[in-house]
Amino acid sequence: MKQVKSSILWQKVILKGDTKELQEFALSDRSPALTLRAQRGSNSSVVVECSARKKNAYHMLKTALEPRSVLTLVFVWRGRQSVNISQQFRVDQGARLHLLNITRGSCVQETVSEVAGARGESRIDWIVHARGTMECRLSVRNVFQGKNGKGNLTIRGVVEEKAKVSCNGAVEIEQKASGTQAHLTERILLLDPLSRADAIPSLDVKTHDVQASHSASVSRIHPEDLFYFASRGISEKKARKLFIDGFLSGMLEDIPNDALRREAKVTLSE
């Protein structure tokens, strides 16, 4: 851990070994930057909690996965102030990344994952739940540079009240990344007449012999759906919660670490 002249803490962590123990880290106004390095052959489960008191604070996460390492990471942002978040990942040969972003506050967040080595995997799942007057601008790129890469990019969001969300997702397959399998899906659900969302998918393929696709949808809940619940004695408030839980919680099922999965479920239920 390094302290610079401004008393801001920059955390640097090496993830070692094959452990089921959940490792927890925090980003805050005084420690806004975290560098993780997953050592060769390691298998780690990590949760990073992000918080800020200063408006438009800047937080950064840099992560490098060495050959044949495995990292499952849940990144959580929730707060009243709007923040700027940058995430950078590098996945080396045979390494596997599973990132789950959970966004529950206003932000401008940019995520880039570069699969530099052959047979590298980069799976990115993103859950966003915006309400009130929240504004979330999300940008994510899954970039494949080595042969036989693999990775799905999935964004699911629920937007309530007067909140606004924009999602820019991109899959990029470079010239030397033949044999890559990569897919992009964006699905946003609007719960109120004044809620707004944009879902913009992008697919850039510069080589042959790949499997790639992209899709996006923004849909609204219909009054008939809520009436269906009301006819069975379920209040509108509870019905809305059932819609949200059902739409978002399915993305947690593939988290292999039990403690990490429970942590994510608690975050979504708050």
> What is the residue-level pLDDT of the chain in tens, covering all 270 positions?
333 334 457 899 999 999 878 999 999 998 999 999 999 999 999 999 999 988 889 999 999 999 999 999 999 998 888 999 999 999 999 999 999 999 999 999 999 999 999 999 999 999 999 999 999 999 999 999 999 999 999 999 999 999 999 999 999 999 999 999 999 999 999 999 999 999 999 999 999 999 999 999 999 887 777 677 767 788 878 877 877 888 888 888 878 778 777 777 777 666
Phi, psi for residue 269 in degrees, rounded to 5: -80, -10
Q: How many domains does the chain have?
A: 1
CB within 8 Å of 77: residues ≥ 6 apart: 50, 83, 85, 101, 102, 103, 104, 105, 107, 109
Helices (H), the chain: 223-230, 236-248, 258-269
In sequence order, which ranges of 110-251 are alpha helices (DSSP H)?
A: 223-230, 236-248
DSSP β-ladder status, 2-3 and 9-15: antiparallel
- pLDDT of the residue at 138: 98
Q: How far apart are CA 124 and CA 152, in angstroms?
A: 6
Domain span including residue 34 = 2-269
* pLDDT score at 4: 35
Give the span between the Cα atoms of 52 and 157, in whole angstroms.
22
Question: What phi and psi, each to the nearest 5 degrees, are found at residue 88?
Answer: -130, 125
| 96 neighbors 70 (Cβ within 8 angstroms) | yes
Chain centroid to CA 34: how far? 16
**What pLDDT, on the 0 to 100 scale, is given for residue 254?**
79
Q: How many CA atoms lie within 13 A of 164 on its CB side?
A: 5
pLDDT of residue 131: 93
pLDDT at residue 8 in the model = 56
Give me the helix-helix angle, 258-269 and 236-248, nearest 10°.
150
Cα separation, 51 vs 189, in Å, equals 26
Cα pseudo-dihedral 205, 125, 179, 216, rounded to 10: -40
Nearest to 138 by CA among 157, 162, 161, 121: 157
Closest CA to 140 of 130, 154, 150: 154
Please, are residues 140 and 153 in contact by the beta-carbon 8 Å criterion?
A: yes
Report phi then psi at 247, rounded to 5. Answer: -75, -35
